[in-house]
Amino acid sequence: MKKAASHIDYNNAVISIRDLEKSFGDYHVLRGIDLDIFQGENLVVLGRSGTGKSVLIKLISGLLRPDKGSISVLGNDVLALSDKQLQELRIRIGFSFQNSALYDSMTVRKNLEFPLVRNRKGIGRAEINKSVETVLDAVGLSQTINQMPSELSGGQRKRIGIARTLILNPEIMMYDEPTAGLDPITCIEINELINEVQERYRTSSIIITHDLTCAKSTGDRIAMLLDGQFQRVGTFDEVFDTDDERVKPFFDYNFIQ
């Protein structure tokens, strides 16, 4: 399924990266990349394992520091922020982890309440209850509110993980392999949810994936990370309209039977 048109403000870059470099010893992961992510845009980052996709997210959120280059997020120079300022910025960014990162000892309700209580001091019970109910409705799982994570399917855990990030109303969403380990039908449901979140919450998103169905369904633009640089950036069709032997295997593996 091809991605439907989104409401994107191409005059407002919520993330701007310039000449970004990162190495670990002699291993050069990122070799001077430039990239803008615009308000309301879903940007998919594709690349083989070990090409630096997850490193990019950690650099953007200030969990790693680059060897060279600049990173601006929501108007903030990430490299110039104090630890306190970084923490405040991260609250404005929602992270959807590959393993959903739910607390096994807490019910769904308690998992969703946790970030609110931790980050919104003095928040009242009525507001907490309303926020929990709102995000559960947004991901279509209101009936799971009193269940434990162990009672949920993989797809449900993924949805609850997304709900927990939404409860703080983030301006940017980071999805790390959102369809990994899920069956095809559940993958379609997660792809649809990512698009629903984009429209309902007006988020800008980076989606890390090697699933081309996910990329095609959710990405307004695709950025192919190869040899430490974004070699191809554009719509899905633009990125894969090539005979580049580094790019074609991605398409052939996903779509050629």
Residues 34/196, Cβ–Cβ less than 8 Å: no
Count of positions (residues) in the chain: 257
Residues 47/210, Cβ–Cβ less than 8 Å: yes
Place of tokens 């607390």: 103
Positions of the chain with pLDDT under 70: 1-2, 253-257
Residues 179/191, Cβ–Cβ less than 8 Å: yes
pLDDT of residue 98: 76
**pLDDT, tens only, 231-253:** 899 999 999 988 888 887 777 76
- Token pair, residue 14, equals 């919520």
Integer Cα distance of 177 and 17 in angstroms:
22
- H or E element, residue 140: none
**Count of CA atoms in the C-beta half-sphere (13 A) of 223:** 23
Residues 105/150, Cβ–Cβ less than 8 Å: no
Residues 131/116, Cβ–Cβ less than 8 Å: yes
User: Measuring CA to CA, which residue among 43, 57, 76 is closest to residue 204?
Assistant: 43
pLDDT of residue 254: 64
**Count of CA atoms in the C-beta half-sphere (13 A) of 77:** 4
Q: Furthest-apart CA pair in the chain: how many Å?
A: 58
pLDDT of residue 249: 73
Q: Give SS3 for 70.
A: strand
pLDDT of residue 257: 46
Integer Cα distance of 84 and 87 in angstroms:
5
Q: Tell me the pTM.
A: 0.91
pLDDT of residue 52: 86
Integer Cα distance of 135 and 87 in angstroms:
23
pLDDT of residue 255: 62
